[in-house]
Amino acid sequence: MLLSIQYLRGIAAIYVVLYHFRIYLNDNLLIKKLGDILFDYGYFGVDLFFMISGFVIVLSTEKKSEKKDFIIKRLFRIYPVYLFILSIYVYLDWNHINNSDLLKSIFFIHLDYLKSAPFYGYSMITPAWTLSYEIIFYFLFFISYSISHKYRVIICTILIALLFTIINLYFNNDYAYSAYGSINYNGLFCGLLKILSSQMIFEFILGMILYVIYKNITINLYLMPIIGIVFLFSIVLIISPANSGHGVFNIGLGCFALLFSLIFLEKNNNIIIIKPLILLGNISYSLYLSHLLVYRLILKDNFLLFKYINQLNATLKLFSITLLCILFSYFLYILIEKPSIKLARKFLNNKHFKKISYV
């Protein structure tokens, strides 16, 4: 794995966390709305995650392998931690569980497609609304990979663009230029159709395209100052209010420039090893999914430690909650994620499983 990708995963996750907890720095210090000033753009982590997913999925399938291997690796990577966190939510809300919502959440279906895009009522695990987009992208990539390993990126790009165009033209006679736009349809398979017609699905394409550029283009050393300028420009685009909001044409522009600049900086120079960022990258998935759960547990004041945290001033409270989220995510990574990844490898290496033919 590229260090730049690993670092960006961790940065994306921690910024989403700080975006959700920024309220603690608002109206509590000498600088009003300090939390918004520092972290109001932290949601960029979602768009960056989508692009990283597009990049990493192509990278991870460089070597041709059995199609079923792709499915097993994705399932073991996503589901174990997800189901564990979901089970805690079920336990906490046992007397108020809606069976329909639980079933939707198990299968990465948004809770209400009548609500505003691109969140559609979120999920029982609130941040998991993004996984619905991820799963559909994996499915389309799997189809493309099954057709041709060599041309998987081209096929997947055409498939996404074609479905996006057909669905938008059929239902709206127009294109959803905004990530917050949605087709005028609420019938059968409306969830699938709304996600496929969302502008946000194109962020996976940008990630795949970046991989192709990275793999096939070498930027000479004398052009590296330009890459540095692109990096600085990406920061400006991300924090600029003019580009606020999810989507390719909003904060996605800055995310693309950021990912582009860092992978090429790494390709042409040795990026220093920063162990805390490597750790954050490792636990990024668990951190992203679990941070609002940790926050909820703290608010309940059930433990002496949580009661103490709730009495701290704004800055220390933000630091303490964030640290607890990181610690909880670390244990999830060690106890669930790593064993699940190892189990997937053992499963794939099992001689009986290898004999199963792919249909």
Left, alpha or beta for 303 (phi > 0: left; psi -120 to 50: alpha)? beta
Whole-angstrom Cα distance, residue 153 to residue 155?
Answer: 6
Distances (CA, A) of 308 to 315, 317, 334, 346, 348: 14, 9, 27, 44, 47
Mean pLDDT of 258-271: 89
d(CA 61, CA 140): 14
Residue 145 pLDDT greater than 80, yes or no: yes
Q: In the structure, what pLDDT confidence band is assigned to residue 358 with cuts at 50, 70 and 90?
A: very low
**Is this structure's pTM higher than 0.75?**
yes
Domain locations along the chain? 3-354
Lowest mean pLDDT across 87-96, 184-193, 310-319: 310-319
| Cβ neighbours around 42 below 10 Å, total | 20
| Mean pLDDT (whole number) for 281-290 | 97
46-78: pLDDT as tens digits: 999 999 999 999 999 998 777 778 888 899 999
Q: How far is CA 348 from CA 27, 80, 305, 338, 351, in A?
A: 53, 17, 43, 16, 8
**Structure confidence by residue, pLDDT tens digits, 81-120:** 999 999 999 998 888 888 999 999 999 999 999 999 999 9
